[in-house]
Structure 1
Amino acid sequence: MIHSLTLSDVLADHARSRPQVTAVVDGDVRLTYPELDARVTRLADALAGRGVAAGDRVMWLGQNSYAVLELLLACSRLGAVLCPANWRQSRDELRFVLSDLAPRVVVWEPSDQAAELADEATWVRAGGAYEELVAGGSPREFPQVDDAEPVLALYTAAFAGRPCAALLSSAALVAHSATLLVVRQMEPGFTFLNDGPLFHVGTMMFCLATLQIGGTNVFTPAFDAEEVCRLVDAERVTQAFLFGPMIDAVAAANAGGKYDLSSLRFVAHSAEWDDMITVDDSPWCRSKMGGYGQTEVGGMLTFLGLAEGGAGFAGRPSPLVQVRILDPEGVEVPAGEVGEICARGKTLFSGYFARPDLNEVKSRYGWHHTGDLGRREPDGTITFIGPRLRMIKSGAENVYPAEVERALKTHPAVADAAVIGVPDPSWHQAVKAVVVLRPDAAASAEDLVAHVRGELAAYKRPREVVFADAIPKQGFTPDYDALDAAYGGGNYPGA
């Protein structure tokens, strides 16, 4: 395995080459890379003593902690898989995840929803019991693990109402980190504050990129604006998991200038914020941290930072992947046409855990099908259109609801919209729009049809527009089954 490089290998090398660098900060816990490496070795041995072997799953059920990184690296050393579960889940959701993943060991922070599901034989409490587990392990050598083996499971993709565990290998995570290091221009000394949830790829991808460069990962249980300010000041944090409302909250918490946030090299946001931090000039920050991504591609598939000034607002692909815009038959569509964003390359996931049928569908024609629609612009950049979900067939033409919905929502009177296909005796299906108007706004069906005709090809315009008080949703997306039932949808291709 001379060409293999696992997350465990990255840690072991840092222990040799960065013996004095602080790897982890979490409250009173401060570990150098050699100290972290020694603990991970003991933890791996202790997990093996509890029956964890290659391919087995370990779950973390709690808020952010240094233990998440230690468990991930220990699983890498064993060839096992760590799943940082969503600690906000309901009891029913957690019961499903436990049944689906069947973890050999669960390390948990007690909570009301988890308490009745806890199994004393396999569950280890975070804190004292976890530290006893680590201390009980012995230092030893472990067999080399293939970096193509899955090491991280993140739940996502609730296509049928229940989420699926996307499996990411060390090879994919190291490749994604390498790209992020370039676009973010991360350097030795980079310090990342893990204040976003580590069950989300957006936080995890920066945690692992920081590990990759030999930087410092600072952990805090969850986002708290005042605590973020304190930690940025105390640990000279370079970057944190922050976006719009979180940035506003941090700026408000530091309105009196109590904390020195100048070490934070971050995206420009507001006059108050920009005065507190150092506005960063990396491609990642100049482009407002933009691009297109999902858990299944390791985080980001395309970056605006690789396409500054480009026509497509999702940017250009990572240099370690290929992206194609494909039609339903797996044929690449011409530039300017809408199709499904499909990819293959070094950062892509290994499939969903225990979902063979779904994996076959998602990897057909030799490409990972993201389930999202996009368009390649004439300059080669990518525009993200929206979730595919389903397609309408009108005559010989494919009409994607997300594209028509997007056009409808650009009308100033439209608050929300969803598009379905209804049976049509001549055209197989016709496009029907369900629209919610903004309060005190007015628009007729004819107005909206004319607006869409100005935005899209004529065959994509709605043949009918109906008005509603609200659009039924599944999560953040329209509940198309409910819309079909309420408004006569059906006759979809393949149904």
Structure 2
Amino acid sequence: MIHSLSLSDVLAEHARSRPQVTAVVDGEVRLTYPELDARVSRLADALATAGVAPGERVLWLGQNSHAVLELLLACSRLGAIFCPANWRQSADELRFVVEDLAPRVVVREPSDATAALTADTTLWVEAGEGYERLVASGSPGDFPPAADTEPVLALYTAAFDGRPNAALLSSAALLAHSVSLLVVRQMEPGFTFLNNGPLFHVGTMMFCLATLQIGGTNVFTPAFDAEEVCRLIDAERVTQAFLFGPMIDAVTKANTGGKYDLSSLRFVSHSAEWDAMITVDDSPWCRSKMGGYGQTEVGGMLTFLGLAPGAAGFAGRPSPLAQVRILAPDGSEVPAGEVGEICARGKTLFSGYFARPDLNAVKSAYGWHHTGDLGRREPDGTITFIGPRLRMIKSGAENVYPAEVERALKAHPAVADAAVIGIPDATWHQAVKAVVALKEGVEATADDLIDHVKNALASYKKPREVAFVDVIPKRGFTPDYDALDAAHGGGNYPGT
């Protein structure tokens, strides 16, 4: 184990080398690195007592909390796997996650979606007081080092076939990605990150872990609220937060008149009003508008525009710890200028999907991870992202997969067939539109179908509009999405 370095090892080292640094801020909770390390040891012991052995899973069903980081670090200490699930999902979606992952322990916040969930072999712990009792029940102690190559984090992603898959990431992959991000973002000691984006999303998690690795401070808030983001940036002198266009506009509006001092935030230039409130950052990451290409399976970012200023390819150049090839279906590399599938291998890559051996074999064909996305190598060696090989809708920061929404629509008793497209949206980039053929002699309104999907899936996946047709055009056995886009205003897909 002399060459191993896990997330748990990073924490243990910070407890010794940064004894006075604040590691975590969450409401009234403030923990130094030694205090965080002690809690994680107690939590790991409590989880072990509950039957969490190496390879077992622990599931979090709730909003952002310092408990998410503690559970991840405790699982790293045990060689177990931690999964923060999307709390915005419906009861049916969360039930699938519980059945698929078969966790030994679930920590959940009370909600309508989580209340009815059960599993015989699982310890169910209520977040808040129940979680604190779990931590207190453990005893401090030493744990044998866990291999950094074993999976430690599971993030559900890629519902192209109608159900998501849990991508498994090891400590080695996560720390390698953090190193790349530390370089491009030019993170330094004292870096303070506001976890206001969802921690089930790799975009927030990757900065949370990079902040941990540099020995910075992670500030947690349950979910995005513009006024609270302003208050926390001011109070905790936050360096960076999870923000993009509409969120930046909301924060700017909330701070009209300069009620809060946001100058500690070193961030991307956005508008005259925003730029006057913050410190416009000059790191490669911020100069490039946080540009690049990534996905959960590569730990976050595979390429950075910040590594290729003035490049021809708007996805930039690969991380220093990864390789990228543009491959044809037969596994051969296509010439520069031609389109193929973006494929990768290297230190930041995931360990495969949980309990998906057939999918893993397909995704790792020819010794490369196949991202499912199309790209092109430009003459200067940089990468251009073209778009998903299979269709995806991008609404704000969320990925919506048509197959998943189509499956929900087809479960309605009045629906004979359905297809889902993305339509341009000025605020969220795209919105979901359903094209539906009803069964003969059966009636349903657009509101009926929208409510049906909202009850089956997370609210952001529901159609905004529904168009009724006699028949869904097909290309073979699948909907002819090009024809549907042309007929019903589809467009603005990622990469276009």
The 3-state SS of whatever aligns with 2:248 is helix
| Alpha-carbon separation, structure 2, partners of 1:437 and 1:221 | 30
Q: Give the direction of change, closer, same or farther, for the CA distance of 1:372–1:217 in structure 2 (3 Å limit).
A: same
Cα displacement (A) at 1:476: 11
Matches within 5 A, 1:298-309: 298-309=299-310
Q: TM-score of the superposition, structure 1-length normalised?
A: 0.81
Q: Give the direction of change, closer, same or farther, for the CA distance of 1:47–1:345 in structure 2 (3 Å limit).
A: same
| Alpha-carbon separation, structure 1, partners of 2:107 and 2:31 | 20
| Alpha-carbon separation, structure 2, partners of 1:12 and 1:472 | 54
Say which is worse superposed, 293-302 or 110-119, in terms of deviation.
Answer: 110-119
Matches within 5 A, 1:306-317: 306-317=307-318
1:329 matched to which residue of 2?
A: 330
**Which segments of 5 or more consecutive residues in structure 2 lack a partner in the other structure?**
394-419, 425-432, 437-452, 454-460, 479-496
Contact 2:285 2:291 survives alignment (8 Å): yes
1:486 matched to which residue of 2?
A: 472
2:382 maps to a residue whose letter is: T
1:213 matched to which residue of 2?
A: 214
1:42 matched to which residue of 2?
A: 42
| Alpha-carbon separation, structure 1, partners of 2:474 and 2:101 | 38
Cα displacement (A) at 1:471: 7.1
Cα displacement (A) at 1:25: 0.1
Q: Give the direction of change, closer, same or farther, for the CA distance of 1:335–1:471 in structure 2 (3 Å limit).
A: farther
The 3-state SS of whatever aligns with 1:252 is helix
The 3-state SS of whatever aligns with 2:289 is coil
Cα displacement (A) at 1:116: 1.2
2:227 maps to a residue whose letter is: E
Cα displacement (A) at 1:490: 2.5
**Is structure 2 residue 373 aligned with structure 1 residue 372?**
yes
1:228 maps to a residue whose letter is: V
The 3-state SS of whatever aligns with 1:323 is strand
Matches within 5 A, 1:391-406: none
2:73 maps to a residue whose letter is: L
| Alpha-carbon separation, structure 2, partners of 1:73 and 1:98 | 21
| Alpha-carbon separation, structure 2, partners of 1:85 and 1:355 | 18
| Alpha-carbon separation, structure 2, partners of 1:92 and 1:129 | 24
Q: Output the aligned Cα RMSD.
A: 2.5
1:107 maps to a residue whose letter is: V
Cα displacement (A) at 1:144: 1.2
**Which segments of 5 or more consecutive residues in structure 1 lack a partner in the other structure?**
391-401, 406-433, 439-469
| Alpha-carbon separation, structure 1, partners of 2:422 and 2:25 | 48
| Alpha-carbon separation, structure 1, partners of 2:77 and 2:338 | 45
| Alpha-carbon separation, structure 2, partners of 1:316 and 1:45 | 43
Q: Give the direction of change, closer, same or farther, for the CA distance of 1:488–1:30 in structure 2 (3 Å limit).
A: closer
Q: Give the direction of change, closer, same or farther, for the CA distance of 1:237–1:156 in structure 2 (3 Å limit).
A: same
2:90 matched to which residue of 1?
A: 90
Cα displacement (A) at 1:143: 1.2
1:23 matched to which residue of 2?
A: 23
Matches within 5 A, 1:39-188: 39-118=39-118, 122-188=123-189
Which has the greater radius of gyration?
1
Aligned length: 417
1:351 matched to which residue of 2?
A: 352
Contact 2:435 2:472 survives alignment (8 Å): no
Show CA shifts across 1:359-393 (max 9, x none): 00000000000000000000000000001129xxx
| Alpha-carbon separation, structure 2, partners of 1:300 and 1:379 | 20
| Alpha-carbon separation, structure 1, partners of 2:192 and 2:253 | 23
Cα displacement (A) at 1:486: 3.2
1:395 matched to which residue of 2?
A: none
| Alpha-carbon separation, structure 2, partners of 1:488 and 1:245 | 36
Q: TM-score of the superposition, structure 2-length normalised?
A: 0.81
Show CA shifts across 1:426-470 (max 9, x none): xxxxxxxx99999xxxxxxxxxxxxxxxxxxxxxxxxxxxxxxx7
Q: Give the direction of change, closer, same or farther, for the CA distance of 1:118–1:110 in structure 2 (3 Å limit).
A: farther
Contact 2:26 2:66 survives alignment (8 Å): yes
The 3-state SS of whatever aligns with 1:486 is coil
| Alpha-carbon separation, structure 2, partners of 1:164 and 1:273 | 38
1:225 matched to which residue of 2?
A: 226
Show CA shifts across 1:295-317 (max 9, x none): 00000000000011000000000
| Alpha-carbon separation, structure 1, partners of 2:104 and 2:435 | 39
Cα displacement (A) at 1:488: 4.2
| Alpha-carbon separation, structure 2, partners of 1:292 and 1:476 | 26
| Alpha-carbon separation, structure 2, partners of 1:59 and 1:366 | 31
| Alpha-carbon separation, structure 2, partners of 1:83 and 1:169 | 12
Q: Give the direction of change, closer, same or farther, for the CA distance of 1:228–1:331 in structure 2 (3 Å limit).
A: same
2:198 matched to which residue of 1?
A: 197
Cα displacement (A) at 1:118: 4.5
Between the two structures, name the one with larger relative contact order (CA 8 Å, sep ≥ 6): 2
Q: Which runs of 4+ in 1 moved over 2 A?
A: 118-121, 434-438, 470-477, 485-488
Q: Give the direction of change, closer, same or farther, for the CA distance of 1:75–1:265 in structure 2 (3 Å limit).
A: same
Show CA shifts across 1:411-430 (max 9, x none): xxxxxxxxxxxxxxxxxxxx
Show CA shifts across 1:92-123 (max 9, x none): 00110000000000011100111011469611
2:383 matched to which residue of 1?
A: 382
| Alpha-carbon separation, structure 2, partners of 1:369 and 1:295 | 13
Identity %: 81
| Alpha-carbon separation, structure 1, partners of 2:423 and 2:63 | 40
| Alpha-carbon separation, structure 2, partners of 1:162 and 1:272 | 42
1:260 maps to a residue whose letter is: D
Q: Give the direction of change, closer, same or farther, for the CA distance of 1:359–1:435 in structure 2 (3 Å limit).
A: closer
1:76 maps to a residue whose letter is: S
The 3-state SS of whatever aligns with 2:9 is helix
